């Protein structure tokens, strides 16, 4: 089908296939059992499919949307064989993802503008936040962009040290202060430095603790407000990092952070070690926020730009 023509390079596609292997195998095994001995997509098959999708961490609301779409096709086509179910699921889920993930990018890019493009990164500790920032820095630098990192997660000394390691590894400058410093002050200094250096991209790490929502909201709002003293209308992007292997817990984290600040994009990490890859579909749909990156391995090249067609193709292959 032309919708699923290959977009990624062979190597990138192989990495994606491998990273989603556990999710794909578990899902397709459940799907095979659900349709075993049945030739037609009927109410019983749809009930079983609903259970398969929910148990694959797609989420209840998104699952119901997918089932509704398939029911529409059943009523329109009058007869659908169970052998067609895999390709129908691919089409409908790609269609669902298209409603929010409109871009079809395959490479790391930023829009052209006169000032540095500022990405503020949020997410709880342990989701791969610092590692994702490091890999983003590597990819943007590889694409020929000048990158500056800001260590505004001043709550943990380890967060500052880890970001310094990635800055050294990727050869990009970092702005930092001591543990316990004001995060907004670090963000301010980072943007000033980025403007002076004529940087293309600024990536600001922020505190990864889910303290109560009001404190989180106040802290992130202050960081934004102070950055705007240097460059108005920043940040250009607020990127929420979620650990895909936590399944439904990732939904809860998305709920907390979207309540605390305006999240504009998502990165879902650690998909290679889990069978919960369906969470990518559910979170993007439920929160109506595009997935920008997915982590499908530990290597520096294993953070990929999310492409809905390649993702669905690998998931249902």
78: pLDDT strictly greater than 90: no
Tell me what the mean pLDDT of segment 5-34 comes to.
87
| Cα 215 → chain centroid | 24
Give the pLDDT score at 132.
96
Q: What is the mean pLDDT of the chain?
A: 90
Q: Which strand ranges, in their side-by-side order, compose the sheet holding 291-295?
A: 174-175, 147-151, 201-205, 117-122, 237-243, 265-269, 291-295, 303-305
Long-range contact set of residues 63-68: C-beta below 8 Å, sequence gap at least 24: 63/282, 65/96, 65/285, 66/92, 66/93, 66/96
Q: For the chain, what are the domain ranges?
A: 8-98, 117-307
Judge whether 172 and 148 are in contact, CB under 8 Å: yes
Given its phi and psi angles, is residue 144 left (phi above 0), alpha (psi -120 to 50 degrees) or beta?
left
Tell me what the mean pLDDT of segment 171-197 comes to.
96
Give the pLDDT score at 2.
42
What b/e sequence results for 261-300 when a residue is b if at least 16 CB atoms lie within 10 Å of its CB, and e otherwise? bebbbbbbbbbbbbbbbbbbbbbbbbbebbbbbbbbbeeb
**pLDDT tier for residue 37 given thresholds of 50, 70 and 90:** confident
CATH number of 8-98: 1.20.120.140
> What's the number of CA atoms in the CB half-sphere (13 Å) around residue 307?
22
Judge whether 86 and 286 are in contact, CB under 8 Å: no
4: pLDDT strictly greater than 80: no
- CATH topology for 117-307? Rossmann fold (3.40.50)
Tell me what the mean pLDDT of segment 72-92 comes to.
84
What residues contact 288, with CB distance under 8 A and at least 6 apart? 100
**pLDDT tier for residue 211 given thresholds of 50, 70 and 90:** low
Long-range contact set of residues 32-39: C-beta below 8 Å, sequence gap at least 24: 35/82, 35/85, 38/82, 39/81, 39/82, 39/83
214: pLDDT strictly greater than 90: no
Which of 5-14, 61-70, 94-103 reaches the highest mean pLDDT?
61-70
Decide if 8-98 and 117-307 have a common fold: no
Residue 170: other Cβ atoms inside 10 A: 21
User: What is the rounded CA–CA span in Å between residue 153 and residue 207?
Assistant: 4
192: pLDDT strictly greater than 70: yes
Residue 78: other Cβ atoms inside 10 A: 6
Phi, psi for residue 19 in degrees, rounded to 5: -65, -30
- What token pair was written down for 49? 């499919």
Tell me what the mean pLDDT of segment 163-178 comes to.
96
104: pLDDT strictly greater than 90: no
pLDDT tens for residues 22-34? 999 999 999 998 8
């Amino acid at each position: 089908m032309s919708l699923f023509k290959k977009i990624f390079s062979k190597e990138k596609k192989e990495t994606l296939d491998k990273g989603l292997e556990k999710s794909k195998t578990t899902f397709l095994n459940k799907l095979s059992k659900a349709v075993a001995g049945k030739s037609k997509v009927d109410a019983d098959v749809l009930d079983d499919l609903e259970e398969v999708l929910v148990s694959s961490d797609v989420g209840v609301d998104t699952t119901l949307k997918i089932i509704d779409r398939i029911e529409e096709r059943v009523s329109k086509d009058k007869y659908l064989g169970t052998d067609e179910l895999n390709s129908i699921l691919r089409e409908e889920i790609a269609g669902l993802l298209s409603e929010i993930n409109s871009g079809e990018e395959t490479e790391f890019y930023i829009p052209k503008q006169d000032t540095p493009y500022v990405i503020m990164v949020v997410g709880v500790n342990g989701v791969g936040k610092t590692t994702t920032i490091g890999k983003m820095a590597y990819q943007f630098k590889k694409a020929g962009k000048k990158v500056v990192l800001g260590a505004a997660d001043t709550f943990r000394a380890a967060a500052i040290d880890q970001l310094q390691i990635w800055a050294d590894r990727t050869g990009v400058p970092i702005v930092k202060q001591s543990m316990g410093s004001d995060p907004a002050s670090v963000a301010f200094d980072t943007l000033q430095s980025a403007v002076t250096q004529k940087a293309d991209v600024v990536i600001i790490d922020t505190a990864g603790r889910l303290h109560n929502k009001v404190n989180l909201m106040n802290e992130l709002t202050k960081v934004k407000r102070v950055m705007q003293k240097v460059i108005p209308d920043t940040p250009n992007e607020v990127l929420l990092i979620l650990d895909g292997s936590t399944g439904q817990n990732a939904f809860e984290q998305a709920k907390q952070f979207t309540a605390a600040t305006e999240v504009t994009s998502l990165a879902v990490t650690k998909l290679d070690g889990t069978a919960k890859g369906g969470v990518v579909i559910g979170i993007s749909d439920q929160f109506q926020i595009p997935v920008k990156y997915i982590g499908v391995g530990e290597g520096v090249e294993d953070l990929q730009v999310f492409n809905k067609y390649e993702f669905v193709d690998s998931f249902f292959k």
